[in-house]
Amino acid sequence: MKPVRTLLIDLDDTTYPTSVGVWPILTERVSRYMHEVVGIPKDEIPEKRERLFEEHGTTMRGLNIEYGIDVRDYLQFVHGVDLSKQIHPDQKLKAALSSLPQEKWIFTNASRQHANNVLGLLGISELFKGVIDVLDTEPWCKPHPEAFEIALKLAGGPLPEETLFVDDLEINLDTARALGIQTLRVAAERVESSHPVIKSLTELPHFLSNNGFKHVEELPS
């Protein structure tokens, strides 16, 4: 079993549970942007939003390719919301991540502003070496393999086989595994998955210790 030296961790619906209700808020902001800024009729938005997401990796990338939107303007609009009622300090998560010696990076299809906001609300900002956001991987995003390759470079160039990628979406995990990266899915509900699954990111230390991964401090540098 290869050691895990680097953790690439998704942000939304991974660092916090889906049940807190952030995604509906962001989805509503996306729909507003599509109508108010892009001018797409309201009745066409659900289908277009879903298609753009599936075909391009994110709705934002699809809107940029097909409608020429300003991605920074989009990110500011969509993520410019107060999430303090949904996300609160998570001492259990902080303790779990603090117990792991691996270098930790957030790898997200959202903005750095949003990531820093979420990590701050959770109280875990200081545990991460940095954030790799959707602008860092332009013109790519998860699940494109090019985005993962850029992320690995930005994380200091760890070997794929010594990197663990944690995400809630199967399609993103599939790409990571195809590149030789170790994978782990976060899903609170029972799901069919070809990847190992934990219910919460707080279970990450237990997963690593129970699956034969050596601690970094046990390994030569």
Residue for token digits 């707080």? 202
Residues 29 and 74 in one domain: yes
* Three-class DSSP category at 17: coil
pLDDT of residue 89: 98
Q: Are residues 35 and 106 in the same domain?
A: no
In the chain, the number of structural domains is 2
3-state secondary structure of 48: helix
Q: What angle do CA 148, 133, 112 make, to 5 degrees?
A: 165
- pLDDT computed for residue 77 by the predictor: 98
Same structural domain for residues 149 and 136?
Answer: yes
Q: Which two tokens stand for residue 221?
A: 């540098």
CB 177 within 8 A of CB 91: no
Residue 93 sits in a domain whose CATH number is 3.40.50.1000
Indicate whether 64 belongs to any domain: yes
Same domain, 133 and 185: yes
| CATH (domain of 59) | 1.10.150
Query: Which structural domain, as residue segments, surrounds residue 213?
Result: 6-17+88-218
Both 95 and 184 in a single domain? yes
Last residue of a domain, one of 43, 60, 79: 79
pLDDT tens by residue, 169-198:
999 999 999 999 999 999 999 999 999 999
pLDDT in tens, 27-58: 999 999 999 999 999 999 999 999 999 999 99
In this structure, are 29 and 130 located in the same domain?
A: no
pLDDT in tens, 59-69: 999 999 999 99
- The CA–CA distances, whole Å, from 154 to 138, 175, 180 equal 13, 18, 17
Domain assignment present for 67: yes
Determine the pLDDT at residue 186. 98
Is 209 contained in some domain? yes
Judge whether 184 and 200 are in contact, CB under 8 Å: no
pLDDT tens, 101-142?
Answer: 999 999 999 999 999 999 999 999 999 999 999 999 999 999
Same domain, 134 and 176: yes
pLDDT at 216 over 60: no
Q: Is residue 213 part of a domain?
A: yes
Q: What is the 3-state secondary structure (H, E, C) of 102-154?
A: CEEEEECCCCHHHHHHHHHHHCCHHHCCEEECCCCCCCCCCCCHHHHHHHHHH
Q: Is 142 part of a structural domain of the chain?
A: yes
Which pTM does this prediction carry?
0.94
Cβ pair 127, 68 in contact under 8 A = no
Residue 8 parent element (H or E): strand 6-9
> pLDDT by residue (tens digit) across 144-156?
999 999 999 999 9
- For residue 141, give the amino acid letter: C
Question: Does residue 1 lie within any of the structural domains?
Answer: no
Question: What's residue 213's pLDDT?
Answer: 67
Query: So what's the pLDDT on residue 220?
Result: 45
Residue at 96 is within a domain: yes
Given this model, what pLDDT does residue 204 score?
Answer: 98
